[in-house]
Amino acid sequence: MKHRLAVFDFDGTLADSFPFFLASFGELARVHGFRPLDRGSLDELRRLDARQLMRHVGLPPWKAPLVAMDFRRLMAARTAQIPLFDGMPALLRDLADAGVELAVLSSNSRDNVQGVLGPALSGLIRHLDCGVSLLGKKRKLRALLARTGFSPGQTVCIGDEIRDIEAARGVRAAAAAVGWGYTLPDALAAHRPDTLAHTVAQLRDYLELA
pLDDT of 104-157, one tens digit each?
999 999 999 999 999 999 999 999 999 888 778 999 999 999 999 999 999 999
* pLDDT score of 4 more than 80: yes
Q: Which domain range does residue 176 map to?
A: 5-16+84-206
User: 28, 51, 80 — which closes off a domain?
Assistant: 80
- Asked if residue 193 and residue 119 are part of one domain, the reply reads yes
Q: Cα separation of 8 and 154, whole Å?
A: 14
Q: Indicate whether 66 and 140 sit together in one domain.
A: no
| Contact call for residues 109 and 12 (beta carbons, < 8 A) | no
CATH code of the domain in which 181 resides? 3.40.50.1000
% the chain with pLDDT above 70? 100
Tell whether the model's pLDDT for residue 50 goes beyond 90. Answer: no
100 and 125 belong to one structural domain: yes
Question: Per 3-state DSSP, what percentage of the chain is helix, strand, and coil (rounded to 5)?
Answer: 50, 15, 35
Mean pLDDT of the chain: 94
pTM as predicted? 0.93
Q: Cα separations (Å) of 170 from 40, 94, 134, 152, 181? A: 34, 28, 15, 10, 22
Q: How confident is the model at residue 2 (pLDDT cuts 50, 70, 90)?
A: confident
Task: Please answer whether residues 161 and 182 qualify as being in contact, where contact means their C-beta atoms are separated by less than 8 angstroms.
Answer: yes
Residues 125 and 200 both lie in one domain: yes
DSSP 8-state class, residue 84 = B
- 48 and 73, same domain (yes or no): yes
Helix (H) or strand (E) holding 45: helix 42-45
Same domain, 11 and 22: no
66 and 155: one domain? Answer: no
Choice between 174 and 137, residue whose per-residue pLDDT is larger: 174
Phi-psi region of 165 (alpha: psi -120 to 50; beta: other; left: phi over 0): alpha
Q: Are residues 166 and 112 in the same domain?
A: yes
**CA 150 vs CA 71, 141, 173: distances in Å:** 32, 11, 10
CB count within 10 Å of CB 1 equals: 13
Residues 137 and 163 placed together within one structural domain of the fold: yes
The pLDDT of 60-89, averaged and rounded, is 92
Q: Is the dihedral of CA 195, 201, 205, 207 positive or negative?
A: positive
Of 50, 80, 110, which residue sits at a domain end? 80
What domain count does the chain have? 2
- Crossing angle of helices 110-122 and 64-76, in 10° steps, is 50
Distance CA 77, CA 81 (A): 9
For residue 210, pLDDT over 90 is answered with no
Q: Give the pLDDT score at 98.
A: 95
- Are residues 169 and 194 both part of a single domain? yes
Q: Quick one: pLDDT at residue 158?
A: 98
Residues 60 and 96 in one domain: no
Task: Please report which confidence band the pLDDT of residue 1 belongs to, taking 50, 70 and 90 as the band edges.
Answer: confident
Q: CB under 8 Å to 72, separation ≥6 — which residues?
A: 108, 109, 112, 131
Q: For residue 27, is pLDDT > 80?
A: yes
Boundary residue ending a domain (33, 57, 80): 80
Q: Are residues 60 and 125 in the same domain?
A: no
Let me know if 9 is a catalytic residue. Answer: yes
What percentage of residues in the chain have a pLDDT greater than 90?
77
